[in-house]
Amino acid sequence: MSRLASRNHCPLCSAPTEPAFRPFCSRGCRDRDMLNWMGEGYRIPGPRASSDEKSETGLDRDDSRG
């Protein structure tokens, strides 16, 4: 598919885009995409962090422990 054609279709459902929600076709697809980002549905694969790296960056920290 050419680049121009992909800009005219929603990346989630492939329906034609609407100018108000571009690059999506509707508010529903726009919101679904945002929820994927917020819920970590989109990830970039890579090596697992060691426990030393996690403690330095604060990743996987349990915030419930005061």
- Residues 10-31 have pLDDT tens digits of 999 999 999 999 999 999 999 9
Show the tokens assigned to 49.
């962090």
Q: What is the pLDDT of residues 55-65, one digit of tens each?
A: 655 555 555 55
Burial 31-54 (b: 16+ CB within 10 A, else e): eebeeeeeeeeeeeeeeeeeeeee
pTM: 0.56
